[in-house]
Amino acid sequence: MSTDTTSPATTPVSVIGLGMMGTALAEAFLGQGHPTTVWNRSPQKAEQLVTRGATGADTVGAALTAGPLVVVCLSTDEAVHEVLDPEVENLKDRVLVNLTSSTPEEARATAAWAERHGITYLDGAIMATPPLVGQPQALIFYGGSAPAFEDHQETLRVLGGAATYLGDDTGLPSLYDVALLGILWSTVAGNIQALALLGTEGVTAEAFLPYATAWLNHVAVPYLPRLAEEVDRQDYATDVSTLNVNKEAIAHLVSASRSQGVSPDLVLPFQALIERRVARGHGSDSLSSLIEELRKPSA
Ligand code: FVH
Protein backbone atom coordinates (compact mmCIF):
# COMPACT_ATOMS: atom_id res chain seq x y z
CA MET A 1 0.00 0.00 0.00
CA SER A 2 1.20 3.47 -0.90
CA THR A 3 2.13 5.63 2.11
CA ASP A 4 2.21 9.02 0.42
CA THR A 5 0.81 10.64 -2.64
CA THR A 6 2.79 13.88 -2.50
CA SER A 7 4.84 14.66 -5.59
CA PRO A 8 8.49 13.78 -4.75
CA ALA A 9 9.71 17.09 -6.12
CA THR A 10 7.77 18.96 -3.46
CA THR A 11 7.52 16.46 -0.61
CA PRO A 12 7.81 18.36 2.65
CA VAL A 13 10.47 16.88 4.89
CA SER A 14 11.35 17.21 8.55
CA VAL A 15 14.91 16.78 9.77
CA ILE A 16 15.40 15.95 13.44
CA GLY A 17 18.96 16.48 14.63
CA LEU A 18 21.20 19.20 13.21
CA GLY A 19 24.66 17.99 14.04
CA MET A 20 27.23 17.93 11.26
CA MET A 21 25.34 15.25 9.37
CA GLY A 22 21.79 16.43 10.06
CA THR A 23 22.71 19.92 8.87
CA ALA A 24 24.11 18.49 5.63
CA LEU A 25 20.90 16.45 5.13
CA ALA A 26 18.70 19.51 5.68
CA GLU A 27 20.88 21.60 3.34
CA ALA A 28 20.52 18.96 0.61
CA PHE A 29 16.72 18.97 0.91
CA LEU A 30 16.62 22.77 0.89
CA GLY A 31 18.95 22.85 -2.10
CA GLN A 32 16.48 20.74 -4.08
CA GLY A 33 13.49 22.86 -3.14
CA HIS A 34 11.86 20.62 -0.53
CA PRO A 35 9.92 22.49 2.14
CA THR A 36 12.13 21.58 5.10
CA THR A 37 11.26 21.79 8.78
CA VAL A 38 14.12 21.37 11.22
CA TRP A 39 14.47 20.71 14.93
CA ASN A 40 17.51 20.36 17.13
CA ARG A 41 17.91 20.01 20.90
CA SER A 42 20.21 23.05 20.88
CA PRO A 43 18.07 25.47 18.84
CA GLN A 44 20.93 27.74 17.70
CA LYS A 45 22.05 25.04 15.25
CA ALA A 46 18.84 25.67 13.29
CA GLU A 47 19.49 29.38 12.77
CA GLN A 48 21.67 29.19 9.67
CA LEU A 49 19.23 26.75 8.03
CA VAL A 50 16.30 29.03 8.80
CA THR A 51 18.07 31.91 7.08
CA ARG A 52 18.35 29.63 4.04
CA GLY A 53 14.61 28.95 3.99
CA ALA A 54 14.01 26.13 6.46
CA THR A 55 11.20 26.33 8.98
CA GLY A 56 12.53 26.08 12.52
CA ALA A 57 10.18 24.08 14.75
CA ASP A 58 9.90 25.12 18.40
CA THR A 59 9.14 21.59 19.53
CA VAL A 60 10.00 18.17 18.21
CA GLY A 61 6.25 17.45 17.94
CA ALA A 62 5.78 20.44 15.63
CA ALA A 63 8.59 19.18 13.42
CA LEU A 64 7.20 15.64 13.27
CA THR A 65 3.75 16.77 12.18
CA ALA A 66 4.98 19.23 9.55
CA GLY A 67 5.10 16.71 6.70
CA PRO A 68 4.82 13.07 5.66
CA LEU A 69 8.55 12.27 5.72
CA VAL A 70 10.67 12.53 8.88
CA VAL A 71 14.43 12.03 8.75
CA VAL A 72 16.15 11.62 12.08
CA CYS A 73 19.93 11.81 12.50
CA LEU A 74 21.13 11.94 16.10
CA SER A 75 24.35 10.79 17.70
CA THR A 76 23.09 7.47 19.10
CA ASP A 77 20.16 5.07 19.17
CA GLU A 78 19.66 6.05 22.81
CA ALA A 79 19.22 9.70 21.78
CA VAL A 80 16.69 8.66 19.11
CA HIS A 81 14.50 6.97 21.71
CA GLU A 82 14.95 9.80 24.18
CA VAL A 83 13.59 12.20 21.56
CA LEU A 84 10.98 10.03 19.79
CA ASP A 85 9.53 7.72 22.46
CA PRO A 86 7.34 10.48 23.96
CA GLU A 87 6.23 11.48 20.43
CA VAL A 88 4.72 8.28 19.03
CA GLU A 89 1.31 9.90 18.52
CA ASN A 90 2.91 12.57 16.35
CA LEU A 91 4.60 9.92 14.23
CA LYS A 92 1.41 8.10 13.26
CA ASP A 93 0.82 8.31 9.48
CA ARG A 94 4.41 9.50 8.97
CA VAL A 95 7.29 7.70 7.34
CA LEU A 96 10.18 7.71 9.79
CA VAL A 97 13.64 7.37 8.23
CA ASN A 98 16.26 6.85 10.88
CA LEU A 99 19.77 7.66 9.59
CA THR A 100 21.38 7.47 13.03
CA SER A 101 24.21 4.93 13.18
CA SER A 102 23.34 1.87 15.23
CA THR A 103 23.92 -1.84 15.56
CA PRO A 104 21.67 -4.27 13.63
CA GLU A 105 20.07 -5.27 16.96
CA GLU A 106 19.27 -1.66 17.80
CA ALA A 107 17.86 -1.06 14.33
CA ARG A 108 15.62 -4.14 14.54
CA ALA A 109 14.45 -3.14 18.02
CA THR A 110 13.58 0.35 16.76
CA ALA A 111 11.69 -1.20 13.84
CA ALA A 112 9.71 -3.37 16.31
CA TRP A 113 9.03 -0.25 18.41
CA ALA A 114 7.81 1.56 15.27
CA GLU A 115 5.57 -1.35 14.29
CA ARG A 116 4.04 -1.48 17.79
CA HIS A 117 3.09 2.16 17.43
CA GLY A 118 1.87 2.01 13.82
CA ILE A 119 4.79 4.04 12.46
CA THR A 120 6.06 3.28 8.96
CA TYR A 121 9.80 2.78 9.32
CA LEU A 122 12.96 2.77 7.25
CA ASP A 123 16.38 2.37 8.82
CA GLY A 124 19.33 3.78 6.95
CA ALA A 125 23.12 3.92 7.07
CA ILE A 126 24.96 6.84 5.51
CA MET A 127 28.21 5.77 3.86
CA ALA A 128 29.40 9.32 3.31
CA THR A 129 30.77 12.29 5.20
CA PRO A 130 28.72 15.51 5.38
CA PRO A 131 30.43 17.22 2.39
CA LEU A 132 29.49 14.23 0.20
CA VAL A 133 25.80 14.34 1.11
CA GLY A 134 23.72 15.23 -1.93
CA GLN A 135 26.32 13.96 -4.40
CA PRO A 136 25.27 11.40 -7.04
CA GLN A 137 27.86 8.90 -5.74
CA ALA A 138 26.89 9.24 -2.06
CA LEU A 139 25.75 5.81 -0.86
CA ILE A 140 23.01 5.42 1.71
CA PHE A 141 21.68 1.96 2.54
CA TYR A 142 18.03 1.54 3.49
CA GLY A 143 16.05 -1.34 4.94
CA GLY A 144 12.46 -1.69 6.14
CA SER A 145 9.12 -0.79 4.58
CA ALA A 146 9.30 -1.45 0.83
CA PRO A 147 6.26 0.74 0.02
CA ALA A 148 7.80 3.61 2.00
CA PHE A 149 11.07 3.32 0.10
CA GLU A 150 9.22 3.09 -3.20
CA ASP A 151 7.13 6.16 -2.40
CA HIS A 152 10.01 8.28 -1.16
CA GLN A 153 13.06 7.03 -3.01
CA GLU A 154 13.18 10.03 -5.29
CA THR A 155 13.19 12.36 -2.28
CA LEU A 156 15.74 10.18 -0.47
CA ARG A 157 18.03 10.28 -3.52
CA VAL A 158 18.39 14.00 -2.84
CA LEU A 159 20.57 12.94 0.12
CA GLY A 160 22.63 10.48 -1.87
CA GLY A 161 22.23 9.49 -5.50
CA ALA A 162 23.37 5.94 -4.74
CA ALA A 163 20.48 5.23 -2.34
CA THR A 164 20.21 1.45 -2.09
CA TYR A 165 17.28 -0.53 -0.66
CA LEU A 166 18.50 -3.78 0.91
CA GLY A 167 15.11 -5.33 1.70
CA ASP A 168 12.69 -5.40 4.59
CA ASP A 169 15.28 -6.39 7.22
CA THR A 170 16.00 -3.14 9.08
CA GLY A 171 19.20 -4.63 10.54
CA LEU A 172 20.97 -4.95 7.19
CA PRO A 173 21.91 -1.29 6.61
CA SER A 174 23.79 -1.24 9.94
CA LEU A 175 25.49 -4.52 9.10
CA TYR A 176 26.67 -3.19 5.72
CA ASP A 177 27.72 0.00 7.52
CA VAL A 178 30.02 -1.69 10.04
CA ALA A 179 31.31 -4.07 7.35
CA LEU A 180 32.42 -1.16 5.16
CA LEU A 181 33.76 0.82 8.11
CA GLY A 182 35.90 -2.18 9.04
CA ILE A 183 37.46 -2.06 5.57
CA LEU A 184 38.07 1.67 5.95
CA TRP A 185 39.65 1.32 9.40
CA SER A 186 41.91 -1.57 8.43
CA THR A 187 43.09 0.44 5.40
CA VAL A 188 43.77 3.45 7.64
CA ALA A 189 45.50 1.19 10.17
CA GLY A 190 47.81 -0.23 7.49
CA ASN A 191 48.60 3.25 6.24
CA ILE A 192 49.36 4.57 9.74
CA GLN A 193 51.72 1.64 10.34
CA ALA A 194 53.45 2.36 7.02
CA LEU A 195 53.83 6.08 7.72
CA ALA A 196 55.16 5.49 11.24
CA LEU A 197 57.73 3.08 9.86
CA LEU A 198 58.82 5.28 6.95
CA GLY A 199 58.83 8.34 9.17
CA THR A 200 61.67 6.83 11.20
CA GLU A 201 63.83 7.32 8.10
CA GLY A 202 62.52 10.80 7.29
CA VAL A 203 60.15 9.72 4.52
CA THR A 204 57.15 12.04 4.57
CA ALA A 205 53.56 10.93 4.17
CA GLU A 206 53.33 13.10 1.04
CA ALA A 207 56.33 11.41 -0.55
CA PHE A 208 54.88 7.97 0.13
CA LEU A 209 51.36 8.84 -1.01
CA PRO A 210 51.78 7.91 -4.73
CA TYR A 211 53.08 4.45 -3.77
CA ALA A 212 50.28 3.84 -1.24
CA THR A 213 47.67 4.92 -3.79
CA ALA A 214 49.09 2.80 -6.61
CA TRP A 215 49.43 -0.19 -4.25
CA LEU A 216 45.78 -0.01 -3.29
CA ASN A 217 44.57 0.63 -6.85
CA HIS A 218 46.73 -1.88 -8.68
CA VAL A 219 47.26 -4.64 -6.11
CA ALA A 220 44.70 -4.51 -3.29
CA VAL A 221 41.55 -3.59 -5.24
CA PRO A 222 42.13 -6.11 -8.07
CA TYR A 223 42.53 -8.82 -5.39
CA LEU A 224 38.97 -8.24 -4.13
CA PRO A 225 37.08 -10.18 -6.85
CA ARG A 226 39.40 -13.17 -6.35
CA LEU A 227 38.92 -12.97 -2.58
CA ALA A 228 35.14 -12.82 -3.02
CA GLU A 229 35.14 -15.86 -5.28
CA GLU A 230 37.34 -17.87 -2.90
CA VAL A 231 35.16 -17.00 0.10
CA ASP A 232 31.85 -17.70 -1.65
CA ARG A 233 33.13 -21.04 -2.98
CA GLN A 234 34.99 -21.85 0.26
CA ASP A 235 37.82 -22.93 -2.00
CA TYR A 236 41.08 -21.41 -0.80
CA ALA A 237 43.54 -22.98 -3.23
CA THR A 238 45.95 -20.39 -4.57
CA ASP A 239 48.53 -20.06 -7.31
CA VAL A 240 49.38 -16.51 -6.24
CA SER A 241 50.36 -16.22 -2.57
CA THR A 242 50.07 -18.73 0.28
CA LEU A 243 49.59 -18.20 3.99
CA ASN A 244 53.11 -19.63 4.49
CA VAL A 245 54.52 -16.80 2.38
CA ASN A 246 52.42 -14.20 4.20
CA LYS A 247 53.46 -15.62 7.58
CA GLU A 248 57.09 -14.83 6.76
CA ALA A 249 56.23 -11.42 5.29
CA ILE A 250 54.20 -10.26 8.27
CA ALA A 251 56.99 -11.41 10.60
CA HIS A 252 59.27 -9.04 8.66
CA LEU A 253 56.81 -6.18 9.25
CA VAL A 254 56.63 -6.92 12.98
CA SER A 255 60.39 -7.26 13.25
CA ALA A 256 61.09 -4.11 11.17
CA SER A 257 58.59 -2.14 13.26
CA ARG A 258 60.29 -3.17 16.50
CA SER A 259 63.79 -2.49 15.23
CA GLN A 260 62.74 0.94 13.90
CA GLY A 261 61.21 1.75 17.29
CA VAL A 262 57.61 1.58 16.05
CA SER A 263 54.85 -0.29 17.87
CA PRO A 264 53.65 -3.39 16.02
CA ASP A 265 50.40 -3.43 18.04
CA LEU A 266 48.18 -2.84 15.02
CA VAL A 267 49.71 -5.77 13.17
CA LEU A 268 50.01 -8.36 15.93
CA PRO A 269 46.38 -9.62 15.92
CA PHE A 270 46.52 -10.25 12.16
CA GLN A 271 49.89 -11.99 12.53
CA ALA A 272 48.40 -14.20 15.26
CA LEU A 273 45.49 -15.12 12.98
CA ILE A 274 47.84 -16.13 10.15
CA GLU A 275 50.03 -18.16 12.52
CA ARG A 276 47.00 -19.96 13.95
CA ARG A 277 45.71 -20.87 10.50
CA VAL A 278 49.12 -22.13 9.41
CA ALA A 279 49.50 -24.13 12.66
CA ARG A 280 46.22 -25.84 11.80
CA GLY A 281 47.68 -27.13 8.58
CA HIS A 282 46.43 -24.52 6.09
CA GLY A 283 49.76 -22.95 5.15
CA SER A 284 49.19 -23.66 1.45
CA ASP A 285 45.85 -21.84 1.43
CA SER A 286 45.20 -18.33 0.22
CA LEU A 287 44.90 -15.43 2.68
CA SER A 288 41.13 -15.62 2.20
CA SER A 289 41.01 -18.85 4.22
CA LEU A 290 41.54 -16.73 7.36
CA ILE A 291 37.79 -16.22 7.27
CA GLU A 292 37.45 -19.75 8.64
CA GLU A 293 39.31 -18.66 11.80
CA LEU A 294 36.78 -15.86 12.28
CA ARG A 295 33.79 -18.08 11.56
CA LYS A 296 34.99 -20.66 14.09
CA PRO A 297 37.11 -18.63 16.53
CA SER A 298 37.27 -21.34 19.18
CA ALA A 299 37.40 -24.44 16.94
N1 FVH B 1 29.61 12.94 10.54
C2 FVH B 1 29.94 11.86 9.83
O3 FVH B 1 30.89 11.87 9.07
C4 FVH B 1 29.17 10.54 9.96
C5 FVH B 1 29.01 9.86 8.62
C6 FVH B 1 28.25 8.57 8.69
C7 FVH B 1 26.98 8.67 9.55
N8 FVH B 1 27.20 9.40 10.75
C9 FVH B 1 26.18 9.26 11.77
O10 FVH B 1 25.25 10.35 11.79
C11 FVH B 1 24.80 10.54 13.12
C12 FVH B 1 24.99 12.00 13.51
O13 FVH B 1 26.34 12.33 13.34
P14 FVH B 1 26.83 13.84 13.36
O15 FVH B 1 28.14 13.88 12.66
O16 FVH B 1 25.76 14.74 12.89
O17 FVH B 1 27.07 14.04 14.94
P18 FVH B 1 27.13 15.38 15.78
O19 FVH B 1 27.61 16.53 14.95
O20 FVH B 1 27.88 15.04 17.00
O21 FVH B 1 25.58 15.70 16.13
C22 FVH B 1 24.85 14.89 17.03
C23 FVH B 1 23.41 15.30 17.01
O24 FVH B 1 22.69 14.50 17.95
C25 FVH B 1 21.99 15.38 18.85
N26 FVH B 1 21.81 14.69 20.12
C27 FVH B 1 22.69 13.93 20.80
N28 FVH B 1 22.14 13.45 21.92
C29 FVH B 1 20.87 13.93 21.97
C30 FVH B 1 19.79 13.79 22.87
N31 FVH B 1 19.91 13.03 23.97
N32 FVH B 1 18.64 14.42 22.61
C33 FVH B 1 18.51 15.20 21.50
N34 FVH B 1 19.50 15.38 20.58
C35 FVH B 1 20.66 14.74 20.82
C36 FVH B 1 22.87 16.60 18.92
O37 FVH B 1 22.11 17.67 19.46
P38 FVH B 1 22.86 18.94 20.11
O39 FVH B 1 24.03 18.41 20.90
O40 FVH B 1 23.28 19.80 18.96
O41 FVH B 1 21.83 19.58 20.97
C42 FVH B 1 23.22 16.77 17.45
O43 FVH B 1 22.14 17.30 16.74
C44 FVH B 1 25.61 9.60 14.02
O45 FVH B 1 24.84 8.45 14.30
C46 FVH B 1 26.79 9.24 13.15
O47 FVH B 1 27.35 7.98 13.45
C48 FVH B 1 27.84 10.70 10.65
Q: Give the CATH number, domain containing residue 156.
A: 3.40.50.720
> How many CB atoms are closer than 10 A to CB 190?
18
pLDDT > 90 in the chain, percent: 95
Confidence of residue 299 (pLDDT cuts 50, 70, 90): very low
pLDDT digits (tens, 9 = 90+) for 88-146: 999 999 999 999 999 999 999 999 999 999 999 999 999 999 999 999 999 999 999 99
* pLDDT for residue 7: 64
Q: Tell me how far apart the alpha carbons of residues 101 and 124 are, in angstroms, rounded to a whole number.
A: 8
Q: Is 181 in the pocket of ligand 1 (CB under 6 A)?
A: no
Whether residues 148 and 13 share a domain: the answer is: yes
Domain span including residue 270: 200-295
pLDDT digits (tens, 9 = 90+) for 172-216: 999 999 999 999 999 999 999 999 999 999 999 999 999 999 999
| Strands of 36-39's sheet in order across | 55-56, 36-39, 13-16, 69-72, 95-98, 120-127, 139-144, 164-165
Whether residues 29 and 152 share a domain: the answer is: yes
* pLDDT for residue 8: 66
Confidence of residue 297 (pLDDT cuts 50, 70, 90): low
* pLDDT for residue 10: 87
Whether residues 16 and 148 share a domain: the answer is: yes
Residue nearest to atom 32 of ligand 1 (CA): 79
Q: How many residues does the chain have?
A: 299
Note whether 75 and 86 are within 8 A (CB).
Answer: no
Burial call 154-170: b when 16+ CB within 10 Å, e when fewer = ebbbbbbeebbbbeeeb
How many domains would you assign to the chain?
2
Q: Is 45 in the pocket of ligand 1 (CB under 6 A)?
A: yes
Q: How many CA atoms lie within 13 A of 241 on its CB side?
A: 13
Which helix (DSSP H) or strand (DSSP E) does residue 112 occupy? Answer: helix 104-116
Question: Global pTM?
Answer: 0.93
* 16, part of any domain: yes
For residue 271, pLDDT beyond 70: yes
Q: Which of 74, 80, 87, 139 to mutate for ligand 1's pocket (most ligand atoms within 8 Å of CB)?
A: 74
CA 74–ligand 1 middle distance (angstroms) = 4
Residue nearest to atom 24 of ligand 1 (CA): 74
Which helix (DSSP H) or strand (DSSP E) does residue 93 occupy? Answer: none
Whether residues 162 and 215 share a domain: the answer is: no
CA 81–ligand 1 middle distance (angstroms) = 13
For residue 3, pLDDT beyond 80: no
* pLDDT for residue 5: 45
* 19, part of any domain: yes
Is residue 102 classed exposed, middle or buried when 0-12, 13-18 and 19+ CB atoms within 10 A define those classes?
buried
Q: Which of 75, 82, 87, 140 to mutate for ligand 1's pocket (most ligand atoms within 8 Å of CB)?
A: 75
* pLDDT for residue 2: 45
